[in-house]
Amino acid sequence: MTKILLAVLFLCAGGTASASVDQEKFIDGLIARMTPQEKLGQLQQLDGEADGHARSEHYGLARGGLLGSTLNVRGSTETNKLQQAAMDSRLHIPLLFGFDVIHGYRTIFPVPLGGAASFDPGLVERAAAAAAAESRACGVRWTFSPMVDIARDPRWGRIVEGAGEDPYLGSVMAAAQVRGYQGGDYSRGSRIAACAKHWAAYGAAEAGRDYNTAEVSERTLRDVYFPPFKTAAEAGAATFMSAFADLNGTPGTANSWLIRDVLKGEWGFDGFVVSDYTSVAELINHGIAADGAGAARAAIAAGVDMEMVSRLYAGNAAALLAKGLIAPAQLDEAVRRVLRIKLRAGLFEDPFTPAGGEKDVLLKPEFLDLSRLLAERSFVLLKNERGTLPVGRTVKRILVAGALAGDKAAALGPWSGDGSASDAVSILEGLSARAAEKGIMIDYVRGAGPKADLSDDISAAASAAAGADLVIAVVGEDPSYMNGEAASRADLSLSGRQQELLRALAASGKPLAVLLMSGRPLDMNWADANAGALLQLWFPGTMAGKAAGAAVFGDVSPGGKLPVSWPRSVGQIPVYYNHKNGGRPVDPANPENRYASRYIDLPNSPLYPFGYGLTYSSFTLTGLELSRSTVTVSGKIEASALLSNKGAVRADEVVQLYVRQLSAGVTRPVRELKAFKRVTLEPGASQRVSLEVPLPALGFHGTDMKYRVEPGEFTLWLGTSSEGGLEGRFYAIP
């Protein structure tokens, strides 16, 4: 029936029903038949109930052609019911169902910051594809992901949703997620449309406070904050979302330069831009508009094509058209972009979802295996002294302490889609199961959690530690209120009585391993100085316990790397590896020189640098070779070195390539990541690892804001973090 309907619509548009029909001509014909209110209906997105049900008013709006999209309406039964109402409308234009599928739909994967820590874009792409398959089975055809904001401030709660501080890593992960969600054709199979957000520089909010203003130079925008978005667009991202915050005085939802000039103009983006939740209405609070009509006018003029939740387009745009305050062409362009994505998503051809298909797709064994694998690869071993981890052969009894150990919901992390705590394997369950297989006794004492609670019993934990051979403390954040949107923190220390718990456990004198569940770097100075091991788990997802058990007991070796620099103190923030040198950098030969860019009470360096992470093995990197010493600015350079596993276990290492241009027309960072490769080696094995960088990727925006690669001398490092490494030099020539 729907294919016949599509054919009729094409014929009404003056085209044919063949596969070669020009979509734009079809859209022309459809727009020509639409009333102004029907056009505005396509630009309206409304929110469903939290449990996935549509609201009663949605049905009437859909039948009247006055609703273009929903968010949070999901499930094959519910989406099909509402879709049928839309198909009963005069023009039979289908709805687009969206949902926040940030790191999984029902099978939950590690949070995006954890996924980025894997330095494994292929695995991240597979996870996004699995999330798309589950989403589509439930009627969801559009995800508000990936979030590709660069974040240099861990106080910002939404750092957990992105890939961290680096433009290159962020770009690689953005492309991987877009490919995973959309595949080559998001109308087919089990794919859905992606949405790159938040355009732009939302992660640069002052003081790390959500929704706050940002002041960022155009060069920094183009060289740091824009690249992941541009890569997402080049990967085919169907949609973009405007940012809540104002950038250099203009909110993202009213920023014509961002949306019309850069995104749609320079980059040729032909999908549509959706506002963030009520951000059109919030233009009044920003002071950009005096009332709803002014807010609607500003957003439409800026190029925001769809309004999320607030209803200022529907309530004001017809009058604005009549007064000549917005042009008919502006309205038609927005409608065209929305219809274009609906066509590309296959909604006109097949708007419905197979009923009951969820049961065959959700929580498929291969999805759960993938969730576990990505979690294992995302763990970052920050410290490991005296062989504290993995659990040794002499260990017969382990104390596990910390409320988070048994918290199945916390393991899922924030923005966990339709994930259910009942599906999750807690850290305690995973450790207990693996210990039982080895004949090791596990005791559990709650001790303390992220929230101070009457059930805290630190003295009981300390007493139990006395009888253990190894103490494992699971500490961190509660994702329900300490991570994600509206979860900025001024204090990054362990909350509740967790620090007190760690001190009491360490006082037992028993080896202490700290497992950290968080969506950002926390103040772990005490653990770094006093614990035997510190393993960052992020929020690992549905298979958290299985993955943690494998890592703690040595079935796998942690091999993740930090996607964000780990500060020693909040006072260092922002701290990031690819900073500028300045005119008075700290001289390593004279570090006490007061007249340098330094603190008098703290080192400049982070506690743990970007790209850092240990393994249970020991790797060496030797014999750096460059493919050439001079290369044209349009050529490429290849660097290689011999990576050797000198330890006794199979493990992964991530080889990273950094460059620095020593002099240029504008100041350049001290180093920039330009390539990486994750390699698995058996004990005693070696492999020559080669990484290639095209010189056009070494450019920057000059004083005229034009992108260029300047000839000159470059330093290149091949290493295993953003500090140190094998060093070489090459020259770029015209």
Helix H or strand E encompassing 142? strand 142-143
Residues 245 and 203 sit within 8 Å (Cβ to Cβ) = no
How many CA atoms, within 13 angstroms, populate the side-chain half-sphere of residue 252? Answer: 28
Count other C-beta atoms under 10 Å from residue 286's C-beta. Answer: 19
- Whether a cis peptide bond, with omega within 30° of 0, leads into 329 is no
Task: Check: CB of residue 253 under 8 Å from CB of residue 281.
Answer: no
> The tokens of 196 are what?
């790159």
407 is catalytic: no
- Grouping H, G, I as helix, E, B as strand and the rest as coil, residue 69 is strand
What value does the CA radius of gyration of the chain take, rounded to a whole number of Å?
27
Strand arrangement of the beta sheet that strand 630-632 belongs to: 630-632, 726-733, 712-719, 651-661, 672-681
Residue identified by tokens 């953005």 is 174
Judge whether 238 and 343 are in contact, CB under 8 Å: no
Please tell me whether the peptide bond between 567 and the residue prior to it is cis, using omega within 30 degrees of 0: no
Looking at the DSSP assignment, which residues form a beta bridge with residue 732? 631, 712
Instruction: Using CB atoms within 10 Å of the CB of residue 661, give its burial: 0 to 12 exposed, 13 to 18 middle, 19+ buried.
Output: buried
Q: Are 37 and 318 in contact (CB under 8 A)?
A: yes
Cβ atoms of 545 and 425 within 8 Å: the answer is yes
The three-state DSSP-derived secondary structure of 229-243 is: HHHHHHCCCCEEEEC
Distance separating alpha carbons of residues 581 and 474, to the nearest angstrom: 38
Distance of alpha carbon 703 from alpha carbon 723, whole angstroms: 29
Residue 386 CB partners (closer than 8 Å, separation 6+):
511, 532
Q: Which of 246, 276, 423, 652 is catalytic?
A: 276
SS (H, E, C) 517-575: ECCCCCCCHHHHHHCCEEEECCCCCCCHHHHHHHHHCCCCCCCCCCCCCECCCHHHCCC
Report CA torsion sign: 389, 521, 115, 689: negative
In the numeric block, which tokens belong to residue 617? 């093995």
CB contact at 8 A, 216 and 247: yes
> What does the chain come to in residues?
734
Q: Active-site positions?
A: 276
